[in-house]
Amino acid sequence: MTDLLGHDHAAHAVEEVTSPPTTRIVFDTSVLVADPHCVQAYADQAIVIPLTVVEELDGLKTRPDDVGRAARTALRTLEELRVQHGGSLADPVPLNGGTLQIEINGIQKHLLVEHGLDPAVPDNRIIGAALGQRNHGPTTIISNDAALRIKAAHLGVDAAAHEPARARTDRPSGWTVLDVNYEVVDCLYAANAVEAEALGDDADLVSENEFAVVRSGSQSALARRMGDDLRLLAHATPEPWGLHPRNKEQRFALELLLDPDISVVALDGRAGTGKTILAIAAALEQVVEQRLYERVAIYRPLVPVGRADVGFLPGGLEEKLDPWMSAIHDAIVALTDRNSSHDAKRLIDDLTARGQLSLESVTFLRGRSLQRQIVVIDEAQNLEPTTLRTILTRIGDGTKVVFTGDTSQIDAPYLGETNNALAVLTNAFGGQPCFGHITLTACERSSVASLAAELL
């Protein structure tokens, strides 16, 4: 009886697919790991998942990190679809306007061999499956693996990277330059604010909590969009923990970091632009001096290089984390009066002993509830979007969280410039009253660092 019902259900499902999409989308394992719910993003297409991908997900599901969690989520999604449509995905089943199937046969091994590719390598088998689908119609392979895309294109298969929903290929800066009538600048200085409508069509160029350099001839002003108004920034430049901003981008970042009404901040930028030191200076100022929060909690992802994983390092947990936390120590050194490593170590020890500072791995965030803290997530570009959700759901009342990172410099596998946690956060939260974002571009670490960033 059960088999018969299952068979009828599958037959009904096939009947619903009256006019399948003409373009076939073949998923690589890296896409399902980076975005376990990516099926929904292509629900109006004919999705084909090679059985090799399921096998690779099965090999990854036991990992205790974000990759393992994503693999398990992707497998559960496929399992729900399998059960929902009669027990098998060998034939196309309907989605929201499209179809999905798991391809078992059709791998064009002879084409792989002709091009010098080993059919036993999983990535090559996925390409071989895409070659087989190409015999049935236009086919595109979606992968976050650049090498796989290069090989696929070489064999004549269209290849593209996966971009999460609402992802943008450009890097939003969080500020813009507006050329306006001199009356707007005069009104801004006279009343400290103007209605955004006074900008005309340019009003849409500045979203909530974004900044603008408003200028007219030799006159200019720095302003921030707050609701329906464009508000002039205070004349006095904030200097948290004695740190003076060196450019307008850093000034904009401090405005967000020191505003208690902004609970989520994202700072993106290349090395030396001041992301980490700005976040830590603002955090220390608000915890130690202003006492707006009870402590600073700094988290970093542990992305190992070679065999330098945390388990291979000597000592207890604190000693194991030291190599990853050295960048935080360096930032605090720059905040001391004499730029002294000894003074920084003493400050860290003192704040830690008083419970006002903690340095931890993102690994230990699960299950936590963070109350009245200012949380700094450093190197956020190396985090999976699933970890982003985990972090933000840990945030309690009275807590501010700051994400810093460089979306053009990613060390974690399966992630790219558009699907890492920092990029996803910026695109998803953009325009929300509780969120602000700035991309820092000017290197301020030193003249040598600035020159290297520019020339190399």
Give the number of other Cβ atoms within 10 Å of residue 174's Cβ.
24
Residue 435: inside a domain: yes
**Domain stop point among 236, 255, 284:** 236
Residues in the chain: 456
Do 425 and 342 lie in one domain? The reply is yes
Give the residues across from 299 on adjacent strands: 360, 377
- Rounded to whole angstroms, what are the CA distances from 55 to 9, 72, 104, 132? 26, 12, 11, 19
Do 187 and 324 lie in one domain? The reply is no
**Domain stop point among 218, 236, 254:** 236
Q: What average pLDDT does the chain have?
A: 85
Band of residue 316 on the pLDDT scale cut at 50, 70, 90? very low
Do 250 and 105 lie in one domain? The reply is no
The domain total for the chain is 3
Do 254 and 315 lie in one domain? The reply is yes
Do 396 and 258 lie in one domain? The reply is yes
What are the pLDDT digits (tens) for 128-167?
A: 999 999 888 899 999 989 999 999 999 999 999 987 754 4
Do 226 and 259 lie in one domain? The reply is no
The rounded distance, in Å, linking the Cα atoms of 358 and 351 is: 8
- Rounded to two decimals, the pTM is 0.71
Do 173 and 147 lie in one domain? The reply is no
**Domain stop point among 129, 161, 193:** 161
Residue 5: inside a domain: no
Do 434 and 337 lie in one domain? The reply is yes
The rounded distance, in Å, linking the Cα atoms of 445 and 2 is: 68
Residue 90: inside a domain: yes
Give one DSSP letter per residue of 250-306, joined into a string. Answer: HHHHHHHHT-TT--EEEEEE-TTSSHHHHHHHHHHIIIIIS-SSSEEEEEE-----T
The rounded distance, in Å, linking the Cα atoms of 54 and 78 is: 9
What are the pLDDT digits (tens) for 317-346?
A: 344 445 446 778 888 888 888 888 888 889
Phi, psi (rounded to 5 degrees) for 424: -65, -40
Residue 2: inside a domain: no
For residue 3, which of 91, 88, 89 has the smallest C-alpha distance? 88
Give the residues across from 297 on adjacent strands: 358, 375
Do 386 and 450 lie in one domain? The reply is yes
What are the pLDDT digits (tens) for 237-274?
A: 999 999 999 999 999 999 999 999 999 999 999 888 99
* Domain interval for residue 134: 24-161
Band of residue 24 on the pLDDT scale cut at 50, 70, 90? very high
Residue 435 has pLDDT above 80, yes or no: yes
Residue 13: inside a domain: no
CATH code of 398's domain: 3.40.50.300
Do 261 and 374 lie in one domain? The reply is yes
| pLDDT value of residue 17 | 44
| pLDDT value of residue 107 | 87
| pLDDT value of residue 20 | 53
Do 326 and 363 lie in one domain? The reply is yes
Do 250 and 152 lie in one domain? The reply is no
| pLDDT value of residue 15 | 42
To the nearest whole percent, how much of the chain has pLDDT over 70?
86
Residue 9: inside a domain: no
